Structure 1
Amino acid sequence: MGFNENVETYFLAEILSIEHRTKNKQWEEYKLKTCREYQPIVARALADYQDLSAHTIAIETAALNDTLGSFGYGNDLMMGILLDQPEFKLSKKPSGFKFLQTHLENDKKVRLEKIISDYLNSLYTFYQTENIGDFYERNADFYQGAINEVKSHIPDGFTDAMETYYGDSRDEYIALVSPMMIWPIEENEGRGIGAMVEEGNKKTVYEIMSPYVQIPVISTKNDYRQFGFDYQPRARTLTVHEFGHSFVNSELEPYQEQIESSSYLFTEKLRKEMESKGIQSWNVYVIESLVRLGEIRVAEIQNDKERANYLRNYHTNQEHFVFLPQLEDKIIEFENDREKYPMWKDFIPEILKVFGQNTTEFVNEKLK
């Protein structure tokens, strides 16, 4: 558990950049307007740094986000990149960024690598010249309070259960709170971002989570007794979910053609339901469905029936991942024959068949 100053500084730069955005500006303005009312760190950052909204880093951050969108990426791409660099407080300049894997053609790949590398240097310079590290020192008690809240809700042993289910392992799992990340809080919803950093043969998995409990902003620094993360269902779900992405996303890359063959199921009704979750394509919907399937099966491996049933109902009926009952029926074949399928990725061609066996009528009926 912890927080990362590189990540927090990036989200501070995003806040300052909003007036310079050309894409999704209305959504970004709404996020800031609402979150500044119940995310104390956001309110404090604005009080301290709002006059830097014309700073070079604000303009460059807006340009970066607009550019990432044109390449088919969101700001989640930046998390692993930022975490792979030395923390800015160590006063070590960032190294150049190179993609380990990407869907981009070579000329676009090289162009985006340079854009990101230049941006990392600008963000590092901003941190150093504006003494951003002092903000984290002044608010250390708040960050520690947030960390303690999440720590109290993480289920014991779930990473062991996850490795059993997927048949794969990671060297380290790190959950990071991000009180600076803005995401509107409704019914204790929050945003989680997963990232994996590889160094040699070592794989470290991160999750970064925004607050999901509204906290009234007060002026006195030390009067906070809640910090935005004290809600067990969301703490558990986000943590298991984001770590699950590290086992799913890259393994699905070779199956893009099979996934695309059932893209007709991403009906207009389903697309509209997914807009508020930031899911804009069938490929992402499939990924998210399989990660949520993993959450349920990990709870079952831990014999936590209450958590498993909560997840089934929540993901299927409230979040509208309508194929989960069928996917769960199918994944039992994998679980019952681990000799044939020692790893989850060995079963991917079979689990993807579930989608191809469905119709648009089924989808739309489930969304009534």
Structure 2
Amino acid sequence: MPLLSGTTFVIYACMKKICLPVFLLVIPWFIRAQDTLDIRYDVNLETMAIIYNLSDAGSFLFEHNPPPRAMLARAITNRFSDLSDHEAVQWVNYLYEHDMVDLYDIDLSLYMTPLPEFRQYAPFPEMYYENDSLSAEEVQAIFDSCHAAVRRFYQDAGLEDFFRREAAPLYKKMMQELSGVRPPENYLSAFRSFYGNSADTYSIIVSVTSFNGIGRSRKITLHAEDHIYQFVSADPSTQSANIDLDHTENITIGYTDPEYFREIAVHELIHTAFERPLRYDSTNLLLIERLSFLYNAPMEKAMNAQGYYSWSQCLDEHLVRLGEYQLSMLTGDTVQANRYLQYCISERGFIYLPVLQNLMEEYINNREMYPDIASFLPVLLDAWWRSEQPEFD
């Protein structure tokens, strides 16, 4: 199963394995943003969220996270309950049952042109084509069949009219909430500078229809340009528990806490800097395996409690959390940076952060030698192996 390193489940963290205005906008595949942050919803993703919510994967999420969790997603999903046997839902069930998608892979819809066309314009990450019994071409053919069913679901459910009219007040409310939690603009320039990242656009995708408390990241390359998407679903702790879709003025969508929004958005952004060098670089993979002795029983227990089930995930999450600390320092929020670092160490079990913090000084002080984080990772991983390691108290 494709288990993404850039995946966050807030509160719930279990996996099977391991358009701004009120009116609907047709968003192009990407918006050139450079150091400007684009925050918007995406009709493709909103549609896939409804389909996933109706599927076995969605049922699993709802059953294991009982009310009052995700009441808005439940209410919207109930609106389309008569389509629970639709072919698009059955295709998602098939993909999930055969480990071809993750528990909530709704953000794969970002690889598609806008509905109602919904044509794949860029290949999915390589791991989606890794299958013991199917060729890459056969895998793609299965996805293509699913995409055709999604197009029909969009039509059969009347989603164009739903998004344009019935759900319009919800999207208006969401964008009003987002105006108060937007991250500081300088965090993008800090990210680009610190990690040597040269992506062409950056977008945060928000959602009304999706299960709440989820973060994902995607880097999509198109015509030699990189486009980074960070999916941040609503905050479970602030989203309304009582939902009346006929009186949306009383609903809180769940984008009112700046700390929640910053943590998920920045966290997912940093994942994009590490995904390729940690997953596909053969030298790094050998060095990561050499460090696997650090994934002892106490560390495994601490990570499993947060939804991380392997040493590679544990390592990745250490690096990303250190990055959150470093970006907070670079953007001038030193109090929050130090508070967050200590919280990760003492409350979340990321005890190797002090070691990594010291080792990163080599990178910080020698940027001419290391123009980006990928060039430094082999040095970091080797030095980590040679370092004295802390233990759980």
TM-score category of the 2 structures, normalised to the smaller one: 0.7 to 0.9
Task: Determine whether 1:126 maps to 2:160.
Answer: no
Other-structure match for 1:111 = 138
Task: Determine whether 1:319 maps to 2:375.
Answer: no
**Correspondence for 2:64 among 30, 40, 43:** 30
Aligned pair in 2 of structure 1 residues 140, 48: CA closer, same or farther (>3 Å)?
Answer: same
Gaps of 5+ in 1: 184-189
| Cα distance, 1:67 vs structure 2 | 2.1
1:215-226 alignment runs, 5 A limit: 215-219=240-244, 220-224=246-250, 226=252
Gaps of 5+ in 2: 1-38
CA-to-partner distance for each residue in 1:309-331, whole Å, 9 max, x for gaps?
Answer: 13212322232222111111110
**Correspondence for 1:248 among 264, 267, 274:** 274
Aligned equivalents of 2:80 and 2:257: distance in 1?
30
| Cα distance, 1:244 vs structure 2 | 1.2
**Correspondence for 1:199 among 210, 214, 222:** 222
Aligned equivalents of 2:383 and 2:337: distance in 1?
21
1:1-368 alignment runs, 5 A limit: 1-18=39-56, 29-31=63-65, 33-34=66-67, 37-68=68-99, 74-75=102-103, 79=107, 81-88=108-115, 91-95=116-120, 98-99=123-124, 101-102=126-127, 104=130, 107-137=134-164, 138-153=166-181, 154-183=183-212, 190-212=213-235, 213-219=238-244, 220-224=246-250, 226-252=252-278, 253-254=280-281, 255-353=284-382, 355-357=384-386, 362-363=390-391, 365-366=392-393
Amino acid corresponding to residue 224 of structure 2 in structure 1: N
Aligned equivalents of 1:93 and 1:167: distance in 2?
33
SS in 2 for 1:346: helix
CA-to-partner distance for each residue in 1:303-358, whole Å, 9 max, x for gaps?
Answer: 22022113212322232222111111110111011121121111101221354347
Amino acid corresponding to residue 232 of structure 2 in structure 1: M
| Cα distance, 1:159 vs structure 2 | 0.4
CA-to-partner distance for each residue in 1:120-157, whole Å, 9 max, x for gaps?
Answer: 22112111122123332312222232233234221231
Other-structure match for 2:32 = none
Aligned equivalents of 1:284 and 1:211: distance in 2?
24
Aligned equivalents of 1:318 and 1:108: distance in 2?
44
| Cα distance, 1:110 vs structure 2 | 3.1
Aligned equivalents of 1:279 and 1:145: distance in 2?
34
Aligned pair in 2 of structure 1 residues 136, 272: CA closer, same or farther (>3 Å)?
Answer: farther
SS in 2 for 1:196: strand
For this pair of structures, how many residues does the alignment match? 345
Aligned equivalents of 2:259 and 2:193: distance in 1?
23
For normalisation by structure 1, the TM-score amounts to 0.84
SS in 2 for 1:195: strand
Aligned equivalents of 2:315 and 2:369: distance in 1?
24
Amino acid corresponding to residue 243 of structure 1 in structure 2: L
SS in 2 for 1:2: strand
Amino acid corresponding to residue 3 of structure 1 in structure 2: Y
Aligned equivalents of 2:288 and 2:179: distance in 1?
36
Aligned pair in 2 of structure 1 residues 114, 359: CA closer, same or farther (>3 Å)?
Answer: farther
| Cα distance, 1:48 vs structure 2 | 1.0
Aligned equivalents of 1:141 and 1:78: distance in 2?
23
Aligned pair in 2 of structure 1 residues 151, 311: CA closer, same or farther (>3 Å)?
Answer: farther
Aligned pair in 2 of structure 1 residues 358, 333: CA closer, same or farther (>3 Å)?
Answer: closer
For normalisation by structure 2, the TM-score amounts to 0.79
Residues 38 and 216 of structure 1 are in contact (CA less than 8 Å); yes or no, is this contact kept in structure 2?
yes
Other-structure match for 2:22 = none
Higher helix share: 1
SS in 2 for 1:223: helix
Aligned pair in 2 of structure 1 residues 268, 120: CA closer, same or farther (>3 Å)?
Answer: farther
SS in 2 for 1:57: helix
**Greater relative contact order: 1 or 2 (C-alpha under 8 angstroms, separation 6 or more)?**
2
Aligned equivalents of 1:44 and 1:77: distance in 2?
21
Amino acid corresponding to residue 119 of structure 2 in structure 1: P
Residues 39 and 228 of structure 1 are in contact (CA less than 8 Å); yes or no, is this contact kept in structure 2?
no
Residues 191 and 209 of structure 1 are in contact (CA less than 8 Å); yes or no, is this contact kept in structure 2?
yes
Q: Following superposition, which runs of at least 4 residues in structure 1 exceed 6 angstroms of deviation?
A: none
Aligned pair in 2 of structure 1 residues 237, 159: CA closer, same or farther (>3 Å)?
Answer: same
Residues 195 and 207 of structure 1 are in contact (CA less than 8 Å); yes or no, is this contact kept in structure 2?
yes
| Cα distance, 1:230 vs structure 2 | 0.9
Aligned equivalents of 2:373 and 2:122: distance in 1?
31
